[in-house]
Amino acid sequence: MIDVPEELAETQEEINGEAGRKFIADLPQLAADFLDRWDLRLDGPPMHGMCALVLPVADRTDNTPVVLKLQLLDDESEGEPIALRVWNGDGAVRLLRYDDATGTMLLERLDPARMLTHEPDSREAVLVIARLLAHLTAVPAPPDMRRLSDIAAGLLTRTPPVLTRIPDPADRRLIADCAAAVREVIDEPGDRLLHWDLHFDNVLGTDRAPWLAIDPKPLTGDPPSTSGPPSPTASTPPISPGASTP
């Protein structure tokens, strides 16, 4: 039986309330079920981000090292396997198995010690992100993927009440200007497949490629619009959902 990290439990309760508490309570049994169903054995200590538990495991039949990702099924996690199948390991972690009912995924194992965050050359790290962004967004998004324009419209709706709670005039002007810029381009949504959470912690090294993206939170949209969740009109500080290791 696995031990659920306290930090993950606290974050799930804060973000998802009762649904998060239930997810955490069900995690040990969920993990046990998939270890048995997919014939896996634990092969290292658990890892976690804000929304997912990631278990290093090995296939009992041939000892292939892989990871089991257990997460709360929601709008963001529903799109993840779709995007990973489209990319098929080209620039992103490879999806091996997926369970529609729970959102559980079996992924190739990357190297958590080779996170782009640890790259000492900040210029090179930014170039890695830029190359991955260009590569991953070169393909059209599949049908029925969440659209960046819809999310942007929702954020714009939330902007006026947020502005009233910002005491600094310069900060208010900056956010108002950002919102105005979004309004100018919201009618040009684009049709590319976006990795909406592409940051240093979500890029890992592996033997088969220097760098691969994980945890995409995919959207349909215009590549220049965003490489991560927009935060200027949010009412709370932005967070990076999902596990920080695949």
The count of C-alpha atoms lying within 13 angstroms of the C-alpha of 229, restricted to the half-sphere facing its C-beta, is 17
Token representation of residue 145 = 């993927």
What local confidence, expressed as pLDDT, does residue 223 receive?
84
159 has pLDDT over 50: yes
The pLDDT assigned to 231 comes to 36
DSSP for 187-230, written as a single string = T----EEE-TT-SGGGEEE-SSSS-EE-----EEE-GGG-SS--
Give the residue carrying structure tokens 């976690």: 48
**Tell me: the pLDDT tens digits for 104-158?**
999 999 998 999 999 999 999 999 999 999 999 999 999 989 999 999 999 999 9
Is residue 95 over pLDDT 60? yes
**Residue-wise pLDDT tens digits, 163-205:** 999 999 999 999 999 999 989 888 887 999 999 999 999 999 9
* Six token digits for residue 202: 């979500």
For residue 230, the model assigns a pLDDT of 39
Model confidence, pTM: 0.83
| Residue 227: pLDDT band with limits 50, 70, 90 | very low
Task: With cut-offs at 50, 70 and 90, classify the pLDDT of residue 225.
Answer: low
Percentage of the chain exceeding pLDDT 90: 77
Q: Are 46 and 89 in contact (CB under 8 A)?
A: no
Residues involved in catalysis? 197
pLDDT of residue 78: 86
Instruction: Show the DSSP H helices in the chain as ranges.
Output: 6-37, 75-87, 122-136, 148-163, 169-185
Please tell me the distance from the alpha carbon of residue 216 to that of residue 188, in angstroms, as a whole number: 22
pLDDT at 226: 54
* Residue 59 to residues 33, 158, 182, 191, 209, Cα–Cα distance (Å): 15, 47, 47, 37, 22
